[in-house]
Amino acid sequence: MMVILAAIGAVALATVAVAAIVVAVQVRDQTDLARHQRCVQDAEAMSNFARSQGAFEVALAACFPNPGAVRASEPPIGIPAVVGETLAQAESDLEKTGLRSLLIRGPSAPGSLVIEQAPNPGTSVPPGTAVEMTTQPA
């Protein structure tokens, strides 16, 4: 009988300990959430004052302890016109602007001429976007 009462007491004590841990975690999470919400509000107010999306992203990134949690985006890049250039020149121009080249049809010789590209010149895209090209022999 004593063993059963001791076991019941141990289970009750463990249940109370788990409940205390759960409450502590919930309080910590609510505190973190409130701190993050205040930080985001401050970041929005600062960016409205600075009139800059980049300022908001920098301020927002400071709100989170994990530097990878929010990454300030890079400004979009306008796609250059590469139709009429050699494949080698088009690849070089795209690389210089922070874009990638992707040959989808046609010969891959450096002297081949680019006859089509997508997206169209002037389109704003994120850095690292692939520009698809079609070539023909020079």
- What is the domain partition of the chain in residue ranges? 2-61, 77-136
Q: Does 3.60.21.10 match the CATH number of domain 77-136?
A: no
Write down the pLDDT at residue 71: 44
Q: Per-residue DSSP letters for the chain?
A: -HHHHHHHHHHHHHHHHHHHHHHHHHHHHHHHHHHHHHHHHHHHHHHHHHT-HHHHHHHHHTTSSSTTTS-PPPPPEEPPP-TTSBHHHHHHHHHHTT-EEEEEES---TTPEEEEEESPTT-EE-TTPEEEEEEE--
Low-confidence ranges of the chain (pLDDT < 50): 67-72
Q: What is the pLDDT of residue 94?
A: 93
Structure tokens at 31: 């505190």
- Predicted pLDDT of residue 92: 94
Global pTM reads 0.48
Position 75 scores a pLDDT of 83
